[in-house]
C-alpha cells in the first residue's frame, strides 16, 4: 500500500497563492501516475492535475495556467502550486497515487485520478472574495 499525507492548505483572498505538498511512503513507485483531486460541497469530485513518470501533465481546464503540479521521486513528494486563486477553487484537496496508470496520453481522462487506489486525508483550501 501507499500512504499519502497532504499539507499546505489554508485561507487566502481572491488572487492569492498557496502551495500544497504531499508526502508519499510505503510501496510507492516512480512509475505511478500521481495527482490531485478536490471535493467541494454540492459539486462532483473533480480531478485537478496529474503527472506521470515522464513528467507529462494534465490539468483541469478551470485551473490550466494557474496551477502547476510537480513531483520529486527522489524525495517521494508531490506538490501543487496554486496561483490566482478564485472562490470557486475552495475545496478539500487530496493527493492521489494511481498504480494502474503509467503514462498520460492524449486521451487521458483526468477523472481517473479521482478513482486512484491511494489518496491522503485531504487539506482544506478556502478562497474568500
Mean pLDDT of all residues belonging to the chain? 96
Per-residue pLDDT band for 6 (boundaries 50, 70, 90) equals very high
- Rounded mean pLDDT of 74-83? 98
Burial 62-95 (b: 16+ CB within 10 A, else e): ebeeebbbbbeeeebebbbebeebeeebbbbbbb
Instruction: Encode pLDDT of 92-118 as tens digits.
Output: 999 999 999 889 998 999 999 999 999
β-pairing verdict for 10-13 and 18-26? unpaired
Percentage, residues of the chain above pLDDT 90: 97
Q: How many Å apart are CA 84 and CA 86, to the nearest integer? A: 6
Instruction: Encode pLDDT of 24-69 as tens digits.
Output: 999 999 999 999 999 999 999 999 999 999 999 999 999 999 999 9
- Rounded mean pLDDT of 10-36? 97
Residue 44: per-residue pLDDT: 95
Instruction: Give the burial class of 12: count Cβ atoms within 10 A of its Cβ; 0-12 exposed, 13-18 middle, 19 or more buried.
Output: middle
- The grid coordinates listed for 107 are 486521451
Amino acid at each position: 500500500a501507499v500512504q499519502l499525507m497532504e499539507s499546505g492548505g489554508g485561507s487566502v483572498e481572491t488572487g492569492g497563492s498557496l502551495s500544497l505538498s504531499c508526502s508519499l511512503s510505503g510501496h510507492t513507485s516512480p512509475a505511478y501516475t500521481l495527482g490531485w483531486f478536490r471535493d467541494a460541497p454540492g459539486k462532483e469530485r473533480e480531478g485537478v492535475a496529474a503527472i506521470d513518470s515522464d513528467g507529462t501533465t494534465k490539468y483541469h481546464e478551470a485551473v490550466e495556467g494557474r496551477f502547476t503540479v510537480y513531483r520529486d521521486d527522489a524525495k517521494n513528494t508531490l506538490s501543487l502550486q496554486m496561483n490566482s486563486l478564485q472562490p470557486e477553487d475552495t475545496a478539500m484537496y487530496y493527493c492521489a497515487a494511481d498504480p494502474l496508470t503509467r503514462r498520460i496520453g492524449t486521451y487521458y481522462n483526468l477523472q481517473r485520478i479521482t478513482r486512484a487506489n491511494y489518496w491522503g486525508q485531504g487539506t482544506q483550501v478556502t478562497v474568500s472574495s
